[in-house]
Amino acid sequence: MPAVNRLSPLAEHPGVSYIMPILNEAAHIEDAVRSILAQDYPGPKEIVLALGPSTDGTNEIVARLQAQEPRLHSVASPTGRTPAGLNLALDASRYPVIVRVDAHTELEPHYTARAVATLRRTGAADVGGLMDAQGKTAFQRAVAAAYVSPLGLGGAAYHSGAPEGPAESAYLGVFRREALDAVGHFEETLWRGQDWDMCLRLRQSGYDVWFDPELKVTYWPRSSWGKLVRQFYAAGIWRAELARRHQEGKSTRHYLPPLLVAGLAAGAAGGVLSASGATRRWPAWLKLPVAAAGLVPALYGAGLAYASATMKQDLGRPERLRLLAVLPGIHVSWGLGYLRGRLFGAAGTVDTSRRKS
């Protein structure tokens, strides 16, 4: 049944609740909050922050902002886990439209007005748009380029764009509260990927999830290679956990990074065997696969060089050089994480890139 028949009519300018889980986001939280307060939207607004046990001064910044802004509220989130924080903030909110926001993001001024108009126009339960990755440093700009390229992340519409229409999932998401009430809150056992799980449950219940490319959210990637690798290792593990739980969570493109990891490992092993002379007396039918595996690292290296040289033409030399580390950091860490997740499950894996370091 179409979602328009499942949801009650939405007022022209309904009240909007912005919910945001936070853990160690001192570098980003003030800009994220101010981008919400600057929304060009005439309806009632409130912000509910779920405060995790931060150790970098995040909660002190929030307290200062709350003293200045009566529409900014907070709830304690003892675990600091994203889905738990989302649910705590959701329970503490009051308006019929729920806007999920991340501390690493900033909303464009028209974001709320456009999202509400799209909810009304389409009858969807959840709408989302493009993740507009940006960087303040050469490293972040290299990561941002990887986010929007098929040679980096690619795949999802919210990374590389697509025509407006029904979608598998939505980045962050602007929700009808009554739809969330109908399908239940965010799955708290999914510490990552709970947004995809929510979209799946909405679609399975007959609601529409909608992609609108006119909606853009500025996203600031991790600021160092170590944090990036830890982020994508955890992301790969939790993506695999989704595949373990849901048949719909499997995709051919998810197997490419694990295959790359296997190829690189086989190539390295083959190189060691060949260099040591261990394969000298092997029959030809055994030498051939070893030689073929040895080509994988060279081919991947050539691919990295090509990607760095051709990706996003406005990049400078510093960003292109950093792509040579950023791309394998994303590919290999995600692939290793996915392999671990498929073999052993997520088992409470924490995204340690959010820890103070």
Q: Which sequence spans correspond to the domains of the chain?
A: 3-221, 248-354
Structure tokens at 6: 């499942």
pLDDT score at 156? 58
pLDDT score at 348? 80
pLDDT score at 113? 97
Neighbours of 352 (CB within 10 A): 13
What is the residue-level pLDDT of the chain in tens, covering all 357 positions? 444 447 999 999 999 999 999 999 998 899 999 999 999 999 999 999 999 999 999 999 999 999 999 999 999 999 999 999 999 999 999 999 999 999 888 999 999 999 999 999 999 999 999 888 889 999 999 999 998 887 887 655 555 567 889 998 889 999 999 999 999 999 999 999 999 999 999 999 999 999 999 999 888 899 899 999 999 999 999 999 999 998 887 778 888 899 999 999 988 888 887 777 777 778 877 778 777 778 888 899 999 998 888 887 688 999 999 999 999 999 999 999 999 999 999 988 888 776 654
CA 324, 146, 340, 274 dihedral sign is: negative
The rounded radius of gyration (Å) of the Cα atoms in the chain is 22
Neighbours of 205 (CB within 10 A): 15
Separation CA 116–CA 44 (nearest Å): 12
C-alpha 23: how far from chain center: 16
* Residue entry with tokens 């690798």: 229
Residue 187, amino acid: E
Helix segments in the chain, DSSP class H: 29-37, 58-68, 82-92, 111-122, 138-147, 157-160, 177-183, 194-204, 225-245, 256-276, 284-310, 317-344
CATH topology of domain 3-221: Spore Coat Polysaccharide Biosynthesis Protein SpsA; Chain A (3.90.550)
